[in-house]
Copies of this chain bind each other. A is one copy, B any other.
Amino acid sequence: MIDRLLMKLRARDEISADEEEALRAAVGEIVRHPADVTFIPAGKLLHSSTLLIEGLIARYKDLSNGERQITELHVPGDFADLHSFTLKFLDHSIMTVTPSVIVQVPHEKLQAITENHPHLARVLWFMTNLDAAIHREWVVSLGRRSALKRTAHLFCELQLRLGIAGLATERGYALPITQTVLAECLGLTSVHVNRVLKELRERGLVEFRSGRVTILDLPTLRRLAEFDPAYLYLDKRPR
């Protein structure tokens, strides 16, 4: 059940059998949500963190004019709100993008981990810092990259992150989301996302159709996006 989490962690650091056991012992029962459900509203007091097992979920903020900005897209193996352990409530909401399977990890179990497994605690801290690194890359994309490069960059990021979880190859991956959701990630309108997707397709770089990303030319796609995976910290050194 926590296999994808372990894959994600072990892509960055050693996790002992003992630590693995501690993680397994920490997870609660399985919960299923249909698509498009906000299951954690901003500001709500939280007592557990959400580990995504299957599906796609998004962190987002609403604006007064009804627009929405997604601040991070989560893939299986991600903690969607590990940071709620120290924050207690969130400044943003969390919704399912596709039908999803999650498990809850009570904060008291996390607390126990911080007390009994200092290295694992550091790894968990690292995971929240990894989210922050992803945020920073999105800041750069939104601030300085054109719509085309920004979209290409997101496809590159998801290819790597899903790849770690065993859910993507160099050829592509399932991404069953609408162009509107994509637009909410990219700070664009769905109309413009549509035009950008057309151009990426016509350039022979990547195709996004019927819930699937098909990568046609990864090297060129990465060059276009100026994609440097360093921010995903996919090296293995002690944390």
Contacts and interface: CB of A to CB of B under 8 A. Distances in A.
B69 A144 contact: yes
Contacts of A186: 143
A69 B143 contact: yes
Contacts of A42: 230
Interface in A108-130: 114-115, 118, 121-123, 125-126, 128-129
A37 interface: no
Contacts of A233: 87, 91
Contacts of A226: 63-64
A92 B136 contact: yes
A132 B83 contact: yes
- Please tell me how many copies of the chain the complex holds: 2
Given A42-B230, A132-B131, A233-B87, A138 B139 contact: yes
Chain A interface SS verdict (over half): helix
A204 interface: no
B125 A91 contact: no
Interface residues of A, number: 49
Contact of A135 (B63, B136, B231): B136
A237 B45 CA distance: 11
A30 interface: no
Contacts of A63: 140, 144-145, 226
Interface string A25-55: 0000000000000000011000000000000
A69 B135 CA distance: 13
Interface string A68-84: 11011000000000010
A88 interface: yes
Interface string A182-226: 000011000000000000000000000000000000000000001
Contacts of A133: 87, 91
12 contacts: A43-B230, A59-B136, A63-B145, A67-B144, A72-B136, A83-B129, A83-B132, A85-B125, A114-B114, A131-B132, A135-B135, A144-B187
